[in-house]
Structure 1
Amino acid sequence: MTLLKRSLSLSGASRFAAARLKALGAALLAALATLALLPAPALARDWQPSERIETYAVTGATGIDLYRSIGDRAPSAGVGQAIAFTDFELLWSRDYRPQPDGSCILASARPSLTIIYRWPVAPSGLAPDVAASWARFIEGVEKHERVHGDHVIEMTEKIQAFSTGLSAPADADCNKVRAKLQEFLAGMAAERLARARAFDRDEMGNGGNVHQLILALVNGP
């Protein structure tokens, strides 16, 4: 979720989404382009994503002050800033095997995926009603970001399924297999960005979940 600094209304939701998508797109394309030619077990499907949560501190004693502090302190995300942001690190161990007949097969592709969530943390000692309002806000923010995390996991599963067993004839150097894979990765990048765009549009538009979260925070105690 991206938020232009000091923006206290939701009329800029389209810019909000555009900043997120630009940053996500750059991270996605960089991660998908990483090819680590390391041996991996055949049909390796028993991987699990890891998770890292990073926070940044905000200050204030009221909802509107906390929101202003987000605008002042939120990390950069493409253009503008982000209330919260889902990033990831995706590395691959791929076993390309030239065959005696001159073909090549990608025998295995095992991902190492770390999903990185970033969101704000409020100061301790808030008044009970403000603390309750903040808790509802940050719970909704986390829920939103974890949907983006699920999208990354699903994308990774699709890439692994396509990769394993991918082959090409007359490909002793495995360049044809790599080209097929890169073409697929580009499609996955476009698919995920379109999915993120649709999700953020629903969440950030008037009446959407994120729209309601922000309004409740800034109009609350």
Structure 2
Amino acid sequence: MESSITKWDFGSLRTYYSVEPYEEFTQDEYVRDASLVPRLQAELWKAQSRIKELEAERKCPDPFVDYLKEELRKERKERKRAQAENSRLKKKLLDMESSENRLRRERDTMEKVCEELVTRIDELKAETRRVWDEMEEERQMVQTAEMWREERVRVKLMDAKLALQGKYEEMNWFVDELEKCLDVAREVGGTEEMRLRRCEGLIKTARSMEVANDKMDFERFEFVSDD
């Protein structure tokens, strides 16, 4: 019985239709030339072997494709890492800008407070001078006044002393606060050196106006000029 060629002999329908016959022949030629059968079978087996080789190559992974896949995976991983690093740097930059703005606001606030303290110290200094002048005038009045006015003048002098002492204590408090602000200003930086020297001069002037003793000997109480 002669074997017939079917599409199942080639592994799949696609490969069956993709194989072109080596020669076109009719059934009559096949019958007339029996030697054609072995030759056709050999060609068919050869075609099947080639098809199997091609299918094996298709199933076998391509090193170049694997290389491209690996490079693509590395590129995606590197891109994700770069995006994460960019996000981290962006957050760090925003934090630095926020910190810089906060320090700038603190410095501006500190400078404003220092200016207010300097202004207040100047006012207290002028007021202290005025009280001192009034007290000197009252002291002269005590020396030249009549005996019956001596007691009343002494009471006024004591009131003036108490007022001066209160102003001096208040001025000392502002001087202490100004010294604290100067210490903070040196740590933070950014404040003009001339402004710092002016504050130091005011502190030195204020510290020089000290009372000699608890009895407040006004004859030894001297004012030091800003120069």
Compare the two structures and name the one with the higher strand fraction.
1
Report the structure number with the largest CA radius of gyration. 2
TM-score between both structures, scaled by the size of structure 2: 0.24
> RCO higher in 1 or 2 (8 Å CA, sep ≥ 6)?
1
Greater helix proportion: 2
Q: State the TM-score, normalized to the length of structure 1.
A: 0.25
